[in-house]
Amino acid sequence: MHILFFADHHPDSLGGVQTSFMLQKKFLERAGHTVTLVVSRRYRRSRRLDGMIEVPALPVPPTGAYSIEPSLKLAYRTVQRKLAKMALPVDIVHIQADMWGAILGAAWAKDHGLPLVQTVHTNLEVGISHTFGKMLTRRAAQVMNAWAASMLDHDAPRNSKDIWAFKEQISRHANFVTAPSTHFAEELEKHKVVEKAIVLPNGVDDDVVEGIHPVVHENVERTLDFVWAGRLSSEKRITEFLGAFHTANIPNAKLSIYGSGQLEAKVRIILVQLGLSHVATFYGRLPHRDLVTRFAAADLVAQSSVAFETQGMTVYEAIAVGTPVLVADPKIAAELPAEFVWLSKTPSVDDMARALTRAAKDIRSGNTKRALDTGEWSVLQSQLTAKMIDLYKKAIKEGPKH
């Protein structure tokens, strides 16, 4: 099969979606298929990947790490020209995007009579609101709905200020819609984006996990090793977590922070202001395998976001290499094996602090919750890719959705 992926952002930019579709590409190609990526051009890129079509885009301020496609018609013509040069017919389109890439992918599948699979990765309602506020979120929804209606030859929806209405405009063209978690699939169904979403989690790279073994710590009096990893942005609630770590004031415990983002300078300042510099260290970004290896050595990996993550890969990766997790979102906790999770009673700073204290006490008493055997629970990408290939075959057999 030749699968055409449409994404919003270049794979060089930081994000779970980019990590996910590059991992899917790797294992689809390992299974003998061809994957071509359609992505927004990135101005700060460190690599030029084979099998990638970059379409004209403008950098998003202030960092330029992400891009926006200002003209989907120009992007469309670019895809048409570059695919023609490849002279390799496309069998199926897979939308790995949530915004302009989603519109472009749906339009391409519709116009070329191709079956379409859509993965809805992101809760845009929460993400945009955190960044721009509710008023600008409604305005963004209006723009996206008008954009989609124009490209897909629909009437604009009556509830044009609703992000979910935009998602529905895309999904009506898909043979199958997948979501990375049960709770997000239910959210899509509740908002009538799709009648039934198929749950297919984002996977953990088999090659990364292979050879990384759970670390068994014998000495319960050692310095406890806590890790927080992710994008440094408001919806990830890193500042709240630092407040919780400060409030918990756990004796003989250290915190390592990994990631990058717009709150990096603020995080550095908070570490100083709270007097945490001697027990908490910000390391920036790590290569993926190095980060997962780091997870395996930690006592716990923390995730502090609430009502934002559609899956939240760090906690999946941590459990996959044997390390328990602390989460603040009960919906995320419900997706994971309960025996490897500490759940904060509420997302508040005080309750996260209590959860950290409880975790430290459990570990000191020998209840480390280490995931030495996860049983049937698995998110290895090889297994998930096999399921996705079956979905592609069903969509191709059905033919394009009219």
Model confidence over 154-173: pLDDT tens digits? 888 888 889 999 999 999 99
In the block, residue with structure tokens 């994404």: 7
Q: Which residues pair with 38 in a beta bridge?
A: 6, 53
Three-class HEC string of 367-402: CCCCCCCCCCCCCEHHHHHHHHHHHHHHHHHHCCCC
Q: Write the pLDDT tens digit of every residue in 57-96.
A: 887 766 666 788 889 999 999 999 999 998 899 999 999 9
In sequence order, the 6+-apart residues with CB closer than 8 A to the CB of 43 are: 59, 64, 67
Give the pLDDT score at 15: 74
* pTM of the predicted protein model: 0.85
Domains of the chain, earliest start first: 2-203+380-398 (3.40.50.2000), 207-364 (3.40.50.2000)
Q: Using an 8 Å Cβ cutoff, are 108 and 92 in contact?
A: no
Given a cut of 70, is residue 21 above it in pLDDT? yes
Q: Write the pLDDT tens digit of every residue in 249-307.
A: 999 999 999 998 889 999 999 999 999 999 999 999 898 889 999 999 999 999 999 98
- Side chain identity at residue 368, one-letter code: T
Q: Which residues pair with 92 in a beta bridge?
A: 3
Q: Give Cα separations from 328 to 108, 125, 199 (angstroms).
A: 40, 19, 22
Q: Rounded distance, CA 85 to CA 9, Å?
A: 23
139, two tokens: 């305005």
Neighbours of 157 (CB within 10 A): 18
Give the pLDDT score at 63: 62
Report the mean per-residue pLDDT for the chain: 91
Q: Using an 8 Å Cβ cutoff, are 194 and 206 in contact?
A: no
- Side chain identity at residue 380, one-letter code: L
**pLDDT cut 70: percent of the chain above it:** 96
